[in-house]
Chain A
Amino acid sequence: MRKYCDLHLKLENEKEIFEAAKLTKEMGFKIVGLTFQPDTSITKIKELKKVFQEFNVDLASRVDLKPKSKMELLSTLRKLRRKFEIISVECTSNKIAIAAARDRRVDLINFSLNFKAKFTHSIAHVLIGALEINLIDLITPKTSRAIILNKFMNEVFIAKINNTPVVVSSGATNPLLIRAPREIASCSLLFKLEPLEALSSISTIPSSIVKRNRVKLSRFYIGEGIKIVD
């Protein structure tokens, strides 16, 4: 049975987080990524993990970076990589996009409509992590839905050519914007992902990212391919 994941929830107050935990359980998610502020304490993250555990949902801590320069990106990555399980970068320019794509510490990159940066073949070619598509842009569109669908279609087209993994997540800013896994997969069919690809973009690909990072964050991990065995 597939383990469905939604790696992007941007909820702030605790009441909403509790509601989201309940909803995600009802919808059938097993892993959920919740965005935290970079200065959030580890105890706070652990507390929220317990809230989600009550509903049998696994919470992965995530931080969204929006660097203005390459140097800023590298310094924040250095500070935060050991603290959060998922690191995502919103690319504001092509230079930052290429730097983020090349960096092993970046798990997901996404492209907002507000900035000039676009997902190109050159970025896809060097991308180590995965491309993230946030459905919130489509669900609550700031411009025409056709423009957003076109953007997503182009991104998926480039990703397919370069064999880049694609992760589709809801990007919900309130619990009512969370979408069920099958609904997310059906929306991904609109931007020309194949049915199996659509399902793996909300299940196997995101769960493998979380699993890989948890191994890296564990105290037994030394380096790539090296770990302490009891």
Chain B
Amino acid sequence: MITPLTSAFGEDVKFTVEAIWKVLLASLVLGAGLCAVFALGIRSLAWGAGGDAEVSHAQGNPAGRIVAGLLFLVVLYGVVAGLLFIIASGQGKELTFSHVIPWIQAKAD
């Protein structure tokens, strides 16, 4: 019994190490990355609003709003993808990004 038990234990550790790196990388991009993009959006909004929105009290720049809008769109894309992913996995399906817009499809396997 000892040998198969320990080897299965080793396999569990191996699978975990393999999975955890991917989880870490994906979470860094989606979690921390999208937070940073959102923060850039806020910063651009403040740049666009000018005056009291910034410590420097500089004049507002209209381009700030446009840049902010684009950045928020990126965040929205991530959030919608997350939402669709939850729905897809609840239905036993998976998400495809093959047409840029994330969409639900039957599982490939």
Real binding pair: no
